Amino acid sequence: MTNKLKYFVGNWKMFGDIGSIKILHQISIFYAKFKKKVKKNKLIICVPNTLIHSFKKKVQSNIISIGAQNCHDYPSYGAFTGSVSALMLKNIGAEYVILGHSENRSKGESIGLIKKKIQASLNVKLNVIFCIGETLKEKNKKKTFSVLRKQIKGSIEKKFNLNKIIIAYEPIWSIGTGKIPSVYDLNKTFKFIKNEFKKSFRSKTLPTVLYGGSVNDKNISILSSISEIDGFLVGAASRSPKKFIDIIKNYYK
């Protein structure tokens, strides 16, 4: 295990109401104590927009960061019925925003649109968790690297504030299926993503890259053996305090 900061990010998706604050409460009690012993990690919970404000108030201690899960590409306010801008998310207390999630790409979000959203978010100093990943068909046709390259190069530019972009590698066939890639594939893919990013944008440092897709309290022990992985984007399991806490605990076992 390296000495680098490790991220544990919950992606609640379209779940939760005001009563879900008790989940946050349980996680915060655990994490406040845990953080005193195990320092080099960061916990972020990305919730529906309806919960950002109340959750942010609950975690004033700054131990846990709150994030959003998408935004409009327009930089401030505008006539876009039903949409929320990065500026509005920032003003309500979000520190992070997930962009490019495959569940949104599958609804028509293009590489170009995601780029605009990244730019809008960086402009208001939101940290971006940028999701990339291949379908099973692409994997079977050995197109994983070309797909990832296209997603990275198509949505990021050298002039962006690269330090505020975290990449989340989420193979689409892993999300919600209970399947994760082999250790061999993950090692190869993480090295590829990091080198591609460094080379494409001539950045001095390697980016932070998370793994997402069916992470649970069992497979985390396999995933923790891969030092290239800088953290995890956890969907379903992050909505159960016990499962989410066990993922963090078991990572360090």
**Whether 53 is catalytic:** no
Nearest distance in Å: CB 17, ligand PGA: 19
Binds ligand PGA (CB under 6 A): choice among 8, 73, 214, 230: 214
Binds ligand PGA (CB under 6 A): choice among 10, 16, 207, 212: 212
CB 246 within 8 A of CB 21: no
175 counts as binding ligand PGA under rule CB under 6 A: yes
Binds ligand PGA (CB under 6 A): choice among 176, 225, 227, 252: 176
Catalytic residue among 134, 138, 170, 228: 170
Alpha-carbon span 160 to 246, nearest angstrom: 36
Catalytic residue among 72, 101, 103, 109: 101
Nearer to ligand PGA, 112 or 176 (CB): 176
**Whether 109 is catalytic:** no
153-172 residues in contact with ligand PGA (CB under 6 A) are 170
- Which of the ranges 27-35, 67-75, 188-196, 210-218 carries the binding residues for ligand PGA, by CB under 6 A? 210-218
Nearest distance in Å: CB 33, ligand PGA: 25
Binds ligand PGA (CB under 6 A): choice among 215, 223, 229, 247: 215
Residue by residue, DSSP assigns the chain as: --SS-EEEEEE--S---GGGHHHHHHHHHHHHHHHHHS-SEEEEEE--HHHHHHHHHHTTTSSEEEEES--BSSSS--S-TT--BHHHHHHHT--EEEES-HHHHTTT--HHHHHHHHHHHHHTT-EEEEEE---HHHHHTT-HHHHHHHHHHHH--TTS-GGGEEEEE--GGGTTTS----HHHHHHHHHHHHHHHHHHHT-SSPPEEEEESS--TTTHHHHTT-TT--EEEESGGGGSHHHHHHHHHHHT-
**Furthest-apart CA atoms within the chain: distance in Å:** 51
233 counts as binding ligand PGA under rule CB under 6 A: yes
- Which of the ranges 29-37, 49-57, 106-114, 212-220 carries the binding residues for ligand PGA, by CB under 6 A? 212-220
7-36 residues in contact with ligand PGA (CB under 6 A) are 11
Instruction: Please report how many Cα atoms fall inside a 13 Å half-sphere around the Cα of residue 230, on the Cβ side.
Output: 17
Nearest distance in Å: CB 236, ligand PGA: 4
128 counts as binding ligand PGA under rule CB under 6 A: no
Residues contributing to the site for ligand PGA (CB under 6 A): 11, 170, 175-176, 212-215, 233-237
Catalytically active residues are 101, 170
